[in-house]
Amino acid sequence: MGLLKKCLFFTQKCDRIYSWREIIYIEGEDNICRIYLADGRRLNSVRHLGHYRQMLKDNPRFFQVSKSLVINLNHLIRYHALEQVVELACGFKVDASRRGGSALMNYLKNGDQE
């Protein structure tokens, strides 16, 4: 219950709990992550993307579209397959990998049937 609804992010300034619903996507780069929120803010986390992937493994609303990006499906507007671009809420557009985009298309067409 608690982990799927809330998450503790360790940022450079402070530790704060945010609802998963607030997160549009998480972008990892080296050993840090940028967390993009629905209110337009961007948080920098000193945790790597693998940390968040592990926390999100049981949350079906988050989907990894590339090696460095995890999106919140609640904020998905559309996937442009030819360009491999994911359009998200608040005007965000991110690039999916070939494999991640294909997996996203399959998920959207068929649901989670793995």
Give me the domains of the chain, ranges plus CATH numbers.
2-110 (2.40.50.1020)
Both tokens of 4, joined, read 């799927």
Q: Look up residue 7 and give its two tokens.
A: 């998450």
Residue 45 has a pLDDT of 86
Residue 41 contacts by C-beta under 8 Å, 6 or more apart in sequence?
none
Residue 96 has pLDDT above 50, yes or no: yes
The structure's pTM equals 0.84
pLDDT at position 70? 97
pLDDT above 50: residue 58: yes
Beta-carbon neighbour count of residue 48 at 10 Å?
14
Query: If you compute the radius of gyration of the chain from its CA atoms, what whole number of angstroms results?
Result: 14
> What average pLDDT does this structure show over 12-37?
84
- The pLDDT tens digits for 70-88 are 999 999 999 999 999 999 9
